[in-house]
Amino acid sequence: MTNLPKNASSLAHTNLNDLKIRIDPKELLANTLEKIEGAYAYASIRAYRADFNAFIEFCEECNEDALPALPSSIANFIIKLSNNKRSSAGIRRAICGISTIHKLNRMDDPTKDPDVTIEMRRMHRKLGRSSSQAGSINIDTLDKLLSATDDSIRGLRDRALLLVAYDTLCRRSELVSLQVKDVKTTIKNGVESTSILLRKSKTDQDSMGKILRLSPRASLALMEWIKQLPEGQEKIMAGVNRAHSIGSAVGAGQINRIYKRIARAAGLDESVIKGISGHSMRVGAAQDLLSSGASMPIMMQRGRWSKSDTVMRYVEHI
């Protein structure tokens, strides 16, 4: 493929559809993702990278261009993903990523073409629109998990993680982002309370911040864990190795495994454990809020949801 001309920087505001040169899609994708780093959530960038690289490979197999892409290429890509048993939600995510990468490079959006729209309708009729819901960790299940923890370093960390996750309804990325310096304890009218500042969330990309209140039980567990953290530790949710030494911060991808490990120790049925994910605590806490009579505005405020239909998907299987 021919490389971009040396004066490519002067073409920053040029519609790339008008350029009569071949574009290296992998190089342009890498440059695009580098450009948006810090402006988009890490999970979004990771999804764009994975989905668009898969689309590039598909186009290479068909000897077609991925950037800019033909609507027919995208329609055929949808067919392939449908036949490969990818979920409808996963396919929608992939097509959204293709659209975004094109628009970020000032290219016409091929996903708006009628051929792509028709294929998406066909895909939805075939696969449906529903997405699998994470298994619920409600208050009853939470109590069972807590009973499986002990007073070891790992046990203290696990208790704090479980109770903070339930009280705050944190997404897993939010949970692992919580910082020690943002934990505040106040005493008012002789009553002690603890809160944590959530600096940024999925619905707060501008980092306005949100104060999350903890119950006395969660507060006690958190303080017991923080006492074990080494001086200078930044993140609250740190890892614990086999020697019971505190290591680096826990990654978002580890939350799921931690929940499942504790669930097995608690003796939960394997069919229940299979449905547990890093989102399960959020699902269970939302269902408990509904059961307690919480209104929709209160639930949306507690869970930091921007759409009521998202909340309803969480609680539809209560």
Q: Determine the distance from the C-alpha atom of residue 301 to the mean position of all C-alpha atoms in its chain, rounded to a whole number.
A: 19
Quick one: pLDDT at residue 7? 44
Q: According to the 3-state scheme, what is the secondary structure of the chain?
A: CCCCCCCHHHHCCCCHHHCCCCCCHHHHHHHHHHHHECCECHHHHHHHHHHHHHHHHHHHHCCCCECCECHHHHHHHHHHHHHCCCCHHHHHHHHHHHHHHHHHCCCCCHHHCHHHHHHHHHHHHHHCCCCCCCCCCCHHHHHHHHHCCCCCHHHHHHHHHHHHHHHHCCCHHHHCCCEHHHEEEEEECCEEEEEEEECCECCECCCCCEEEEECHHHHHHHHHHHCCCCCCCCECCEEECCCCCEEEECCHHHHHHHHHHHHHHCCCCHHHHHHCCCCHHHHHHHHHHHHCCCCHHHHHHHHCCCCHHHHHHHHCCC
Buried b (16+ CB within 10 A) or exposed e, 22-59: ebbbbebbeebbeeeeeebeeebbebbbebbebbbebb
Q: d(Cα 22, Cα 33) in Å, to the nearest integer?
A: 20
Within a 10 A sphere around the Cβ of 184, how many other Cβ atoms?
11
Quick one: pLDDT at residue 163? 97
Fold observed for domain 139-315: hpI Integrase; Chain A (1.10.443)
Quick one: pLDDT at residue 14? 46
For the chain, what are the domain ranges?
A: 14-127, 139-315
Quick one: pLDDT at residue 301? 87
The values of phi and psi at residue 138, to 5°, are -85, -175
Query: What digits encode the pLDDT tens for the residues 28-49?
Result: 999 999 999 888 878 889 999 9
Quick one: pLDDT at residue 310? 75
Q: d(Cα 303, Cα 169) in Å, to the nearest integer?
A: 6
Question: Do 171 and 202 form a contact (C-beta atoms < 8 A)?
Answer: yes
Query: What digits encode the pLDDT tens for the residues 188-212?
Result: 877 788 999 998 777 666 667 889 9
Per the CATH hierarchy, to which homologous superfamily does domain 14-127 belong? Tyrosine recombinase, N-terminal domain (1.10.150.130)
Within a 10 A sphere around the Cβ of 92, how many other Cβ atoms?
16
Determine the length of the chain: 318
Q: Is 18 exposed, middle or buried (0-12, 13-18, 19+ CB in 10 A)?
A: exposed
Q: d(Cα 86, Cα 148) in Å, to the nearest integer?
A: 36
Within a 10 A sphere around the Cβ of 141, how many other Cβ atoms?
20
Quick one: pLDDT at residue 10? 41
Over the chain (318 residues), the average pLDDT of each successive run of 10 is: 43 45 84 90 88 96 94 96 90 94 95 96 86 78 96 95 95 92 87 88 72 94 94 91 86 92 94 89 90 88 82 70
